[in-house]
Amino acid sequence: MFGRKRESSMGIPRGKGTAAAKIVLALAILAILVGNSYYSIQEEEQAVVCTFGSPKAVTTPGLHFKVPFIQTVTKVNTTIQGFNIGYRDGTDADGLTDDEMEDALMITSDYNFIYVDFYAEYRVTDPVKALYASENPALILKNIAQNCIRTTIGSYSVDSVLTTGKNEIQSNIKQMILDKLETYDIGIQLVNITIQDATPPTTEVENAFKEVETAKQGKETALNNANKYRNEQIPNAEAESDKILQDAEAKKQDRINEANGQAARFNSMYQEYVKYPEVTKKRMFYEAIEEVLPDVKVVIEGEGGKTTTMLPLDSFVTQEASSVGGNRGTVEDETDEAKEE
């Protein structure tokens, strides 16, 4: 009776107020249903849709629909994330908290203490396992990393950790972590792990290692300069060697050609000698005298001890016939004068 009187007093006809309230309620319920029937996924996200306790991964970015109040959606960040192990803001042990000091302080194979800081990067590869395989997969990864780091650092000397062995140490730690994550299968993957810093626990030891590192860098610089000089000099030496070899080969070929020519000349002379031995002997004798004593004049004695002719050596080869005829009288006169004296 009170409700009806109130509807009448407000000017609302009886029965219509209840219908309007129902419409408003229906619209509100509809708005809630529509608002809970879709969700969106960004590029750096994946979603896990759970239907009656059964999870399913949704990896495609964009707008997606779901059944309100039946399906629940949990978004998972799939970008690369990271955490520090043993990180410290200070430059020495005074800058560490108790937890940081415990994480950073390690012992090497030669029983030296050392502070080592690491930074690990990871990302979610399976959102369903990342949500339901463990309560906190990032914490599990950190514990695995700490175990692998201490195991690996304990197998290296302090000198290797501080100087030359960092790359090898990082590689071994990463592989060890990847193997354990594959065994645990918690839906996350290690992207990379790097050594941020490695320092001895005391300033004196740190300075000594810095001096060692400086000396090693000086050694590398000297080696690089020596290699550079060697690379510059080797081509020059090779070029000079090639030139010497080519000159020697040319001289060798000249000698061979000369020897072949002399052998051919000898064979030719021998063939003539076989035909006319005496004439060939005389010719060779005259040529030898001409070569050794080019200005000598030769007197030829004929039969019976008489001098028949005298020939200049330079005309023996070219003008033998004319010289014999033209100089015969002169030779005889000179011979008579020589006998009278």
Give pLDDT tens digits along the chain (341 positions).
Answer: 444 444 444 454 555 568 777 776 666 666 665 556 667 888 888 888 888 878 888 888 878 777 777 878 888 888 999 999 876 554 444 455 555 567 788 888 888 888 899 999 999 999 999 989 888 999 999 999 999 999 999 999 888 888 788 899 999 999 999 999 999 999 999 999 999 888 876 777 767 777 877 888 889 899 999 999 989 899 888 888 999 999 999 999 999 999 999 898 888 878 877 887 887 778 778 788 778 777 666 666 666 666 544 445 445 444 444 444 444 444 444 444 444 44
Same domain, 121 and 213: no
Last residue of one domain, picked from the residues 201, 218, 248: 201
CA nearest neighbour of 169 among 188, 150, 190: 150
Residue 288 lies in a domain: no
Measured CA to CA, the distance from residue 178 to residue 284 in angstroms comes to 98
* Total domain count, the chain: 4
State the Cα–Cα distance between residues 145 and 87, nearest whole angstrom. Answer: 14
Q: Looking at the domain assignment, is residue 286 inside a domain? A: no
Q: Is 75 exposed, middle or buried (0-12, 13-18, 19+ CB in 10 A)?
A: middle
* Co-location of 149 and 252 in the same domain: no
100 and 177 in a common domain: yes
In terms of domains, do 14 and 70 share one? yes
Among residues 46, 76, 106, which one ends one of the domains? 76
Is residue 302 domain-shared with residue 220, that is, in the same domain? Answer: no
Residue at which a domain ends, from 201, 226, 252? 201
170 assigned to some structural domain: yes
The verdict on 219 and 254 lying in the same domain is: yes
Same domain, 113 and 27: no
Domain that holds residue 262: 209-275
> Six-digit token pair at 283?
């010719």
Same domain (yes/no): 224, 191: no
Q: Are residues 115 and 189 in the same domain?
A: yes
Instruction: Report yes or no on 281 lying in a domain.
Output: no
Residue 181 maps to a domain? yes
Same domain for 220 and 305: no
Give the Cα separation of 115 and 154 in Å (integer).
13
pTM of the model: 0.51
Give the residues across from 9 on adjacent strands: none
